[in-house]
Amino acid sequence: MSKQFDVVVIGGGPGGYIAAIRAAQLGFNTACIDEWKNAKNGPAPGGTCTNVGCIPSKALLQSSEHYEHAGHAFAEHGIEVKGLGLNLGQMLARKDGVVKQNNEGILYLFKKNKVTFFHGRGSFVKGDASAYEIKVSGAAEETISAKHIIVATGSNARALPGAPFDEKLILSNAGALAIDAVPAKLGVIGAGVIGLEMGSVWRRLGSDVSVLEALPTFLGAVDEQIAKEAGKLFTKQGLKVSLGVNIGAITTGKNDVTVEYVDAAGATQKAVYDKLIVSIGRTPNTIGLNAEGVGLQLDERGFIAVDGDCKTNLPNVWAVGDVVRGPMLAHKAEEEGVAVAERIAGQHGHVNFNTIPWVIYTSPEIAWVGKTEQQLKADGVAYKAGTFPFLANGRARALGDTSGMVKFLADAKTDEILGVHIVGPMASELISEAVVAMEFRASAEDIARICHAHPSLSEATKEAALAVDKRSLNF
Ligand code: FAD
Ligand code: NAI
């Protein structure tokens, strides 16, 4: 007789482990299966986000920023650093320690919430609306069953045809987070989120970084004015970004990798790098799930097909996170996981796709929520825009980081906030105010009339809201 649960979650990344915790909170007997292994083959729940994504990348971004500040910014503050050195081994070990703390934190949360954890791969055996059987293959094999299944199997890095990841010379996100000696010349294909974040880390640590991007525009999904400003700042920092390239053959030597490409002017180029990061997007992961065995439908791009409520074509089978449509973001996965657990409990789980914030953790950071100016133009929406530069913000001056701006877009008639875009210090934290405001359908004037602490970076948010009505006070 197989172990029976009310809810079984397959995948323990932010979508899966949060869904499992919420389901358990709601009184369901819940299990979560995750196959990620740490260096000792032990369990490492948390998925891409914890192991090779959000958490380790932010750890290295922080460490590399400290290093850059110590080398370049401290002197202005009157702090003299002599004999500055880089202990990359220690930096990577710290990053691994941060990951481990998060893995252990999730195992603790499972215990606390009485979620039964299985370390192994989960795959469908058979089932119908009354119950599904799931085989767990790991150190030991067993079959468990539940009425409700939540699939949260995440995504994998997409490789370029003919250039598989070897994680020595051609690196996915996993390899990019574990380079053991700073490469003199680092190539990056794809100027998206990973390319810019990982390119920034290794540039700060001393690499000569070249980023090759297929699209003719830099950060096409970002508000144009913000993307332009960010592009200027990154170029000034020494990140070399080539747009409109067409990648050709990629060949590996003993210690280097050669990339042939046609540049935007049509000239054929050949570049040799010590390491190459390929960050051209991610593909949904349904490997080993036996989706076909139970008739679980995928869409034409390989995502599990779901409706707006994360319901699949099979009764009582749900799917959340990177393995379904929508932005591949940890907080989107979490929101879907919570909403599905609540729907299983008969509640009205809700995810507002219009207010999912995006953050790129470069320096300065880029963060946004809602519509860009180019989207509003394309949709024919009449809008007002207000911007405020950090150059005119007292706290930013005191911090010594005055790059960038806050930009508000509000409906021309109703003044409702339609989008907020930030490039600048702590944009990741500042964007939360805009998310809250948009969730409550606030107007730009609402933000302009709220008292913001002085001196704080958030005053730039208030001032940008004032600028919508052309009445900034400090600019
Ligand atoms: P995942 O986190 O991929 O988790 C899926 C889990 O399921 C994995 O542990 C996998 O091993 C397991 N699994 C798969 N199949 C099975 C199976 N059959 N049986 C058992 N287990 C299985 N997002 C942000 O919001 N902010 C960031 O700063 C950020 N930084 C990132 C940096 C990098 C370098 C990368 C690559 C991604 C980053 N992301 C970030 C994206 C974020 O990591 C993903 O959106 C998020 O992890 C998706 O969560 P998920 O639960 O859907 O899937
Ligand atoms: P991405 O979609 O952000 O960027 C990929 C880039 O590669 C695009 O600019 C695309 O035009 C370009 N590209 C695609 N094919 C190409 C080719 N053949 N040649 C040259 N350029 C090519 O994907 P990325 O950076 O791999 O990250 C994957 C996802 O992970 C992100 O979209 C995001 O959802 C998530 N992520 C989120 C982070 C965050 O929230 N801070 C950080 C890192 C990743």
CATH code of the domain covering residue 433: 3.30.390.30
- For residues 447 and 416, is the Cβ–Cβ distance under 8 A? no
Q: Is residue 473 part of a domain?
A: no
Per the structure, the complete domain to which residue 207 belongs is given by 170-280
Catalytic residue among 72, 348, 421, 454: 454
C-alpha 437/C-alpha 439 separation (Å) is 5
Pocket test for ligand 2, best of 58, 158, 194 (most atoms within 8 A of CB): 194
* pLDDT for the residue numbered 148: 98
Q: Is residue 299 part of a domain?
A: yes
Pocket test for ligand 1, best of 22, 49, 58, 369 (most atoms within 8 A of CB): 49
Counting Cα atoms < 13 Å in the Cβ hemisphere of 460 gives 30
Query: Does 309 lie in the same domain as 230?
Result: no
Last residue of a domain, one of 304, 329, 351: 351
Last residue of a domain, one of 264, 280, 296: 280
Structural domain count of the chain: 3
Query: Does 21 lie in the same domain as 125?
Result: yes
Ligand with smallest separation from the Cα of 58: 1
Query: Does 19 lie in the same domain as 63?
Result: yes
Query: Does 293 lie in the same domain as 432?
Result: no
Query: Does 46 lie in the same domain as 28?
Result: yes
What CATH number is associated with residue 204?
Answer: 3.50.50.60
What are the phi and psi torsion angles at 217 (to 5°)?
A: -110, 150
In this structure, the number of other CB atoms found within 10 A of the CB of residue 413 comes to: 10
Ligand with smallest separation from the Cα of 60: 1
Q: Which atom of ligand 2 is nearest to the CA of 358?
A: 40
Query: Does 141 lie in the same domain as 9?
Result: yes
Query: Does 364 lie in the same domain as 313?
Result: no
Query: Does 302 lie in the same domain as 260?
Result: no
- Could you tell me the distance, in angstroms and rounded to a whole number, from the CA of residue 334 to the centre of ligand 1? 11
* pLDDT for the residue numbered 414: 98
Give, in order, the Cα–Cα distances in Å from 303 to each of 287, 317, 371, 408.
Answer: 11, 14, 25, 34
Q: Which atom of ligand 2 is nearest to the CA of 279?
A: 26
Query: Does 34 lie in the same domain as 128?
Result: yes
Q: Is residue 28 part of a domain?
A: yes
- Could you tell me the distance, in angstroms and rounded to a whole number, from the CA of residue 88 to the centre of ligand 1? 26
* pLDDT for the residue numbered 43: 97
Query: Does 288 lie in the same domain as 145?
Result: yes
In angstroms, how far apart are the furthest CA atoms of the chain?
72
Q: Is 77 a catalytic residue?
A: no
Counting Cα atoms < 13 Å in the Cβ hemisphere of 231 gives 19
Q: Is the CB of 36 under 6 A from ligand 2?
A: no
Query: Does 311 lie in the same domain as 216?
Result: no
Convert 441-459 to b/e letters by CB count within 10 Å (16 or more is b).
ebbbeebbeeebeeebbbb
C-alpha 41/C-alpha 32 separation (Å) is 18
- Could you tell me the distance, in angstroms and rounded to a whole number, from the CA of residue 32 to the centre of ligand 1? 15
Q: Is the CB of 198 under 6 A from ligand 2?
A: no
C-alpha 74/C-alpha 12 separation (Å) is 41
Query: Does 112 lie in the same domain as 20?
Result: yes
Q: Is residue 474 part of a domain?
A: no
Q: Is the CB of 361 under 6 A from ligand 2?
A: yes
Last residue of a domain, one of 265, 280, 295: 280
Query: Mean pLDDT, consecutive 10-residue segments, the chain of 475 residues?
Result: 92 98 98 97 98 98 98 95 97 98 98 98 96 94 97 98 97 98 98 98 98 97 98 96 98 98 98 98 97 97 97 98 98 98 97 97 98 98 98 97 98 98 98 98 98 98 98 96
Q: Is residue 165 part of a domain?
A: no
Q: Is residue 163 part of a domain?
A: no
- Could you tell me the distance, in angstroms and rounded to a whole number, from the CA of residue 164 to the centre of ligand 2? 17
* pLDDT for the residue numbered 72: 93
Q: Is residue 162 part of a domain?
A: no
The closest residue, in CA terms, to atom 46 on ligand 1 is: 330
Q: Which atom of ligand 1 is nearest to the CA of 44?
A: 9
Q: Is residue 87 part of a domain?
A: yes
